[in-house]
Each structure stands twice: as structure tokens, then as C-alpha cells.
A and B are shown apart, each in its own frame.
Chain A
Amino acid sequence: MDVLASLADGFATAFSPINLLWVVVGALLGTAVGVLPGLGSAMAVALLLPVTYSLDPTGAFIMFAGIYYGGLFGDSISAILLNTPGNSSAIASTFEGHKMALTGRAPQALATAALGAFTGGLLATVLVAFLAPSMAVLATYFGPAEFFALALFAFVATSAVVADSLVKGLASLVIGLAVAVVGIETQSGTSRFTFGVPDFLDGIDVVVVTVGLLALGEVFHRASLAHRPEAETLIRSGGRPFLSRGELRKALPAWLRGTAFGLPFGVIPVGGSEIPTFLAYGNERRIDRRSRKPEFGQGAIRGLAAPEAAGNATSGTAMGALLTLGLPTSATAAIMLAAFQQFGLQPGPLLFERDSELAWALIASLFVGLVVLLVLNLPFAPLWAKLLLIPRPFLYAGITLFCVMGVYSSSGSVVDVVLLLAFGLLGMLMRRADVPVAPVLIAVILGPLAETELTRTLTISEGDPSALVASPISIALYAVLALTLVITAVNRIRTRRSIDA
């Protein structure tokens, strides 16, 4: 009951007119930066930080809470409509989300994403409000060995399902790994494949790879086919932003499954929401394969609903980890940590004792922010979807401008723009050759993560590989992984036999 009373106090603070205003401002701002590729909520909070010194800390953090969730609502808008994820957390949403938009279901896709993000965020925030301290304990069970097992698990679990052809999937994966190793290896300081270009020392930005392959690749591909008669004309999307009963029936379990994937990941610092979104997507796809009428590849609503819910669930519990442990598990959370410190506050086990009013007001604002975002996003879904009615040449020119601007403004580096164009060309070639793009992105994100954790584990154990399987958590993860692999292999052989027979 103690929690309820504190939460009620928090809501009282959050509902003061000025704080409500800050939530709305934050939500709008967050959505705006979320939509732009390359600009994320982390950047927005960092840039706003100096402006907020004159606010009282509660107001500032309430606004940051709006930005935090706003970014996650915004990034799926550009992912669905333009095949350009605003942030890496929306990469998994592009796969089926954009296909839905192409088949004339853009408003429904946007509504699915918004409702999914709402569901995931809501459940996560409830969990944070009531169970944050006990959830935080989970983090202390995870060391480098467990992180490596987790990264490897995500790697195999997702790449096994996203590609239909084994050879092409592997080829794509290897391209991704090659891109991922560029730069200084953080554990040993060795520089790899930098070719004397200082801009390569920090590696190639995931944003550049994602935007180049997905968005520019698509633009170039379309442009290269421009002289051919348009094969498919865009179906005019229906105006209804609400989901039909059938759609809801498919989306609801996917939202919940996605949330379940996302919740635990917020607490453990393995690179933000990418792993859970990929895992949630992979899981839906695996379920879809077993159904009589597989929908994946043609815009399956489940393939969008699950990763969206997972992404926001992760961010929700990440906020819990930040508040109760002082653990920054995502880029935005890391900036928020810096923001707390600048206001002379230290998130961590003592925050709820020292500044309980602020902490509870912040949690209450997370709830308010979610509702505000849902209200902002649902009615605007058909409006956003109108974007697709822009004639193709203008639309693609706009996307190109949008991508180049986003990448340049986030890094201010011309090298990144050149790289962006190179990845655009690569994306076009891959589309031509029918090689899936998703494994490249999975490798770029998970590859360095897995490598770093593997190096850390082996350094700590002074090269003894048994450290990799020294804890029950890692043993369990490897066991599940092995089981998944065996089942997949058996299924493949079976289908092949039935085709032969």
C-alpha cells in the first residue's frame, strides 16, 4: 500500500498544469527526433540538458520522461512508412511494418505500433513502480559470461529465422560481421581495417549502416527500375486507424509475447532494446511458420506488434534499472544518468529515500507520457499515412534528403555521408541479388557485443574457456540454444523429405 500512496503523490505532482505541459512538450519533441533517422532521444536529452538548468529538477525529468518514450513512438513511424528506422530499436519493426504499409495498411500498421508501444511501456512501468528493487537484483546475476551466452543466443535465434536461404543468409551475416570489426577493438586497443582513415577508428555507426541499407538501398533500387513500367501500383490505404477484430486477435497475443521478451532486457545492460526486438520478431516468425497460412513477408501484423511492444517494454524496465541501481542500460538512460548527476541527484539504491518525491513524480509521468503519446499518435496515424500518397519521385527524393540530413546532423562528418551512399549502393545490389538485408544489421549490432563479452570473460579467467559455462544461467542459455538448433534442423530435414516424397 505504501507504493500506492507514493504513486498517488507522484500523480498529484505530475498532474499539475505546468508538469503536464512538460510531458506534452517532451512527448512531441521525442516523437519528432524519433522520426528523424540518426537523431534519437539520447541526442535530444543531451542537447536540452543545458536549457533545463533553469527548470526545477522535477519539471526537467518529467519532460525527459516524455522525450524518452516519445522517441520510441516516433522511430516506428518512419520505419513503417519509409522503411527508415528512426533508431536501431525500430529496425525489427521495418521488416513487416513497411510491408504492411506497401499493401495499403499503413494506418493500421501505425496503430499496431502505437498500441504495441503503449502496451509494452505500460506493463513495464507498472512493473517498475511495484517491483523495481527486486527486479534490479536480476542485473547482479549477469556478468560477461552470461552476456556472451545471451548475445550468442540472440544471434543464432534471429539469424536462423530471418533468412529463407541458408547460403544467402550466411553471406549477409558475414558482410555484417566484416563491417562490425572496423575500428579500435575496445578490449585490446587494436585498430582493425581502418585503412588510415581516422574517422574509422570508432567503427562504423550502426545508424549509417541501417539507414544506408534499408532506406537508401530501397531508393536506389527503385531508381534503377524506373525505366520499367511500374509493376505494382500502391494500393490506396484505408483511412481507418483502428484495428478490425481479426487484426486485434492476431496482434494482442503478439503484443504480450513481445512485452515478455522486452521486460527482463531493460535491467541487463546488453546494448539496449535491439536484442529483445530481434528475439520477439524471430519468435513470431517461428510461430507463423507453423501456422497453416504463413503471413510473414506480406506484412504480418504480428511481426510488427511483437518487436514494438518488446522495444518499449525494454525501455520501461531500463528506466527502473536506472532509478534503482544507477545502471544505464541504454544510450538515453546513460544521458539521463548524467542529467541526474548535474542536478546533484544520484540515481541508485538511495534515490527513493533521498528524493522520493521526484522519483515517484517521474514514474507517474511515465504513465502520463504513455497516455499522451497514444492520444497523439492514434488519431494522427491516417494523417501520417498520407505521406505515402506523395508521388514516388518526390517521395524518394524526400527520403534521400531526410537520410543524408539525419546522418550528417548526428555526426557532422562527411565520411559518414560517403559511407551512407556506399551502403545504399550495397543495399541496392543485395536487393537485386535477393540477399536479405536483416542479417547484416543483426551482425553489426550483436557481433561487437558478443565479441566484447567473450573477450572480457576470457580476460577475467586468464584464458580459461571453462569460465564460459561456469554459471547455471549460461548453461541454461546454451541448452535452450542447442535445443532450438536441433528442432530447426529436424524440421528442415522433415520438410525436405516430404517434398522429395
Chain B
Amino acid sequence: MQNRRLVTVLVFVVAVPLLVAAVLQARAAGGISNARSGLTLLVPAAPGGGWDTVARELQRAMRENGVVTNPRVVNVPGAGGTIGLSQLDQMQGRDDVLMVMGTVMIGGIVVNDSALTLADTTPVAELAEDYEAMVVPADSPFQSVDDVAAALREDPGAVAIGGGSLGGTDHLTAGLLAQDVGADPAAVNYIPFAGGGEAVNALLSSSVDVGISGYVEFADQVETGALRLLALSAPEPQPGIDAPTFIDAGYDVYLPNFRGVVAPRGLDEEQVGELTAIVEETVATPEWQDALQRNQWIGAVKTGPEYQEFLDAEVERTTALAEELGL
């Protein structure tokens, strides 16, 4: 009994001054923003996926260079990222949270009939992009994009196209091509797989006629000759990749798979400026440059009005396309 009282007293003696000191210290250090001391990177997907990789690379670059003292990654997976989006919406006005998002979320919002959209967030920056590749099995009769386009024009249902999940970049690219050749995007025979890797299997077993996914997923099989690369969805030919862009081949198909960050809505200009500065400092670090190379991303930093404009344009055309795909 005596002992217990002693412990209680001791706890108070130690804890109370510590707490007071901490509060005073925090007040004195008022110059440091919330975001600088403890930024939360919200990942609207499970650990291990594309968005998660972006967040963990950011976290590493921030921590190693002291851009943010204590960045942490929180995963809120589910429903194409829209569960994370609704979590972010509840953090209105908080200036120490960034959510990773990208092209896939725009489709996810349509597929999951989300009431919230990216208009309910504060755009901060675009970070990186990569491009889609279109491939066929080595023994396919399709030799070029023109052959695929001709087949689509004749009967869009007759060409089975495999790729990632519904409404994702792969599906959208298929839709863009169909649209461009004058076929009904909703009639495209698109077979969604859990990811590019599974789609590769479907191509090798000749279950699907055409595959569309990130180039990285196909790179090895293209190199060994098991798959034939027909085109890339980049704005210009990519160094080291021997394939024309859709645009060079004569098709108006340009779809970057971009990754960016957004903050909760209800922030003032100063708060957005601070978050933008953090991102700009982070992407300038050698760690981030290294991350771009390792993950085969193409650095594409846009901030402020430029990002807002880009995002608005992408949201508008991608949403329209997703609707046309019948999602």
C-alpha cells in the first residue's frame, strides 16, 4: 500500500514538470510548422502496392534529409482508394497530412460510385509518371498497332484485351484506343486481372489477344521474345525502349499513369505553401532521384496552379472516359 502511494507520487513528480516543459518548449518552437515535425502520409491502399511504394520512398527521402522530422505512413486500403479519400475528408483543415493518389483513383471514384471526388481535396503536387505498354504474344497475327486498331474497328468484342483492374490505367488506355478508332469503348472486350503479372500469364497461355499494362510488367518477356511490344502511351518515344508511341503510330492515345499528393480541403494559402515546399525539398533529394530510377518512374513535378490545371484536365477526361466504358 505504502509502496503504491510512493509510486503514484513519484509519477506525478516526474510527469508534471515534463509535461509543462514540453508545452512551453512547443510554444517556444512555434516557428516550426506541424507538418515539419510530424507529417502523415496517407496511403489509400494496402502495403506493398504502387501508392504504398510512393509513400515509403517519400518517407525515406524526408527522414534521411531532415525535411520532416518524423514522417509516418498510414495505410487505409479499400474500394479503389475511396475509403482513404473519405478518411482524408474527415481531416478537413489539417495541415500535416498528405494523401498519395494518381490516375487510378480517378477511375476508382467512378467504379465505386464515390460521393467524394478529388475536388474535395487540396491538390499539392504531382510527383512522377509512367506509361502504359501494349503487347501481344509472340505468335500473334497482330504485327503493329494498326492491326489491332483494324480489328477493333471491325468488331471491338472480338479482341480480348487483358490488363489490371476495372477503371485503372490499363482499362482506360484500351478505352482511349477504341474511342480513337471510332469503336464503342463500352463494347471493348476487356478482361481485368489482379495485376500486370497475372495478365502476363494470360498472354503466355494465349487466353487474351492483347495485353495493356505498365511497361515494367512486360519488360522481361519482351526482351526474351515471348511477347511483342507494339506501342507506348507516352508523349514521346522513351530512351531504351524500342517501340513507337501511340501518337507517332497515328493514334491520339496519351495516358500518363501519374502519382501525386493531395491535402485535406480547407487549408489557407500559407499552409498549402508550406506543404508544397516540403514536397519540393523532398523530390530534390538524392534519395528520391534514386527511388525514381529503382522504380522506373519518370520524374514529373508539378505544383501550384500548374498541378491544379493538370489535375482538372485529367479528372475531366478520365471521368468522361470511365463513364463511356460503362463503369
Contact = CB atoms under 8 A, between A and B. Distances in A.
Interface of A: 42-43, 45-47, 49-50, 53, 139-145, 184, 186-189, 191, 198-199, 201-202, 269, 325-328, 334-335, 337-338, 341-344, 346-351, 411-413, 456, 459-460, 462
Contact of A326 (B82, B197, B205, B294): B197
Contacts, number: 133
Nearest to A342: B294
Interface in B64-86: 74-80, 82-83, 86
A176 B227 CA distance: 39
Interface stretch (B24-32, B188-196, B258-266): B188-196
Contacts of A325: 200-201, 204
Interface in B291-327: 293-296, 327
Nearest to B155: A462
A291 B295 CA distance: 57
5 contacts: A186-B194, A187-B191, A201-B79, A202-B77, A327-B200
Nearest to B83: A198
B192 A186 contact: yes
Contact of A411 (B77, B158, B296): B77
B290 to A, nearest CB: 9
Given A269-B201, A460-B207, 7 more contacts: A45-B48, A142-B201, A145-B207, A184-B79, A334-B195, A341-B296, A349-B221
A342 B224 CA distance: 21
A53 B76 contact: no
A264 to B, nearest CB: 15
A49 B59 CA distance: 13
Contacts of B34: none
B93 interface: no
Given A143-B207, A342-B53, A349-B226, A184 B197 contact: no
Contact of A186 (B113, B166, B293): B166
A46 B205 CA distance: 29
Contact of A460 (B53, B166, B189, B221): B189
A334 B205 contact: no
A272 to B, nearest CB: 12
B205 A191 contact: no
A342 B295 contact: yes
Given A337-B197, A338-B48, A349-B224, A459 B78 contact: no
B197 A460 contact: no
B191 to A, nearest CB: 5
Nearest to B202: A143
B10 to A, nearest CB: 30
Q: Which of A351, A412, A460 has the largest count of B CB atoms less than 10 A from its CB?
A: A460
B48 A49 contact: yes
Q: Which of B160, B191, B207 has the largest count of A CB atoms less than 10 A from its CB?
A: B207
A462 B189 contact: yes
Nearest to A200: B79
Given A269-B198, A459-B191, A189 B294 contact: no
A145 B191 CA distance: 13
A341 B204 contact: no
Given A143-B206, A143-B207, A348 B166 contact: no
B205 A140 contact: yes
What 3 A-B pairs have minimum CB-CB distances, sorted nearest first? A143-B207, A348-B220, A46-B48
Given A143-B207, A198-B86, A49 B56 contact: yes
B166 A346 contact: no
B47 interface: yes
B82 A140 contact: no
A174 to B, nearest CB: 26
Contacts of A198: 78-79, 82-83, 86, 112
A294 B123 CA distance: 66
Contacts of B79: 184, 198-199, 201-202
Contact of B160 (A53, A334, A459): A459
Contacts of A42: 48
B219 interface: yes
B223 interface: yes
A349 B295 contact: no
B83 A350 contact: no
A122 to B, nearest CB: 27
A187 B192 contact: yes
Nearest to B225: A349
Contacts of A341: 216, 294-296
B52 interface: yes
B60 A328 contact: no
Interface string B209-242: 0000000100111011010000000000000000
B152 to A, nearest CB: 14
A294 to B, nearest CB: 40
Nearest to A321: B201
A343 B295 CA distance: 8
B121 interface: no
A334 B48 CA distance: 9
Contact of A46 (B47, B158, B327): B47
A326 B220 contact: yes
Given A184-B111, A460-B208, A335 B198 contact: no
